[in-house]
Amino acid sequence: MIGKFIQENITYDGSQLSSLWAFRNFGLQGDSIVSFRGSCEVKIDAMVDLADVRDGDSIYSEDMLHFIVEHFDMDLEKAVTRQRLLITIIKELLEELTGCRLKRKGDDLYHGENKLSVSIATLSPVSSMIHTAINISSNNTPVPTISTSELGWPEHRSAELAEEICQRYVAEINSIFMARCKVRGVD
C-alpha cells in the first residue's frame, strides 16, 4: 500500500475516480491512497451516487482535501468497509487534533448538522475505488457545511493533515493484512 500527498492543486470533477489514476498521473503502481488539495465540482453526469443523481443534488466546495483510494480487488462490500474505515480514521484524527466531537453517519462526517465530508466507493474495471474529501472552506456550498479551519485546524497546515491521514490509512491496511497472516484455521 502506497500513500502520497500531491503538492499541486487539482480540481476534483469526478474524472479522478478512474482505474489506475494514481499510476497514470503519478507513477504509483499498486494499492494506493493519494491526497491533494483543490476545489470540488461534480456535475450530475459525472456523479457515481445514483441516489444523489435522482435527488438532483450537486457537489461543490471551493477548497477541500481529497483522497483517492484504489485497491486491486473487485469487492464492493470490502470497498465500502474500507471507505468507512477511512472516514473513521479522519474522524479520530480531527477529534484528536482539534478537541471537537464529530458525528459519523455512514460514510459522512458532521459537526452538529453541518457536513464536513463527501465520500463514495465504487468499482472500476480492474479495482475498487474510494473518493473522500473534507472541507477546508465552507463558503458557497450547496448544503450547510463546516470546514477543518472552523474546527480549529489551521488552513496552512492542510498538507500535514492529509499526509497524516494517508499514513494512518496505509498503516491500518498493512496491519489488517498482517493480522490475516498470523492465525491458524480452526476446525
Q: What would the grid cell of residue 30 be?
A: 499498486
Quick one: pLDDT at residue 55?
A: 73
CATH (residue range 2-180): 3.30.930.10
Number of neighbouring beta carbons within 10 Å of residue 65:
22
What does the pLDDT average to over 22-41? 97
End-to-end CA separation in angstroms for the chain: 32
The SS3 assignment for 50 reads helix
Q: pLDDT of 107-122, one tens digit each?
A: 999 999 999 999 999 9
Chain segment 44-56, per-residue pLDDT in tens: 777 677 676 667 6
Domain ranges of the chain: 2-180
**Quick one: pLDDT at residue 43?**
81
| 3-class DSSP assignment, residue 141 | coil
**Residues 148-171 pLDDT 10s:** 999 999 999 999 999 999 999 999
pLDDT of 63-108, one tens digit each? 999 999 999 999 999 999 999 999 999 999 999 999 999 999 999 9
pLDDT at position 59, please? 84
Q: Residues for the chain: how many in total?
A: 187
CA 104 – CA 56 distance, rounded (Å):
23
pTM: 0.95
Among residues of the chain, what percentage have pLDDT more than 90?
89
Within a 13 Å sphere around the CA of 174, how many CA atoms are in the beta-carbon half? 11
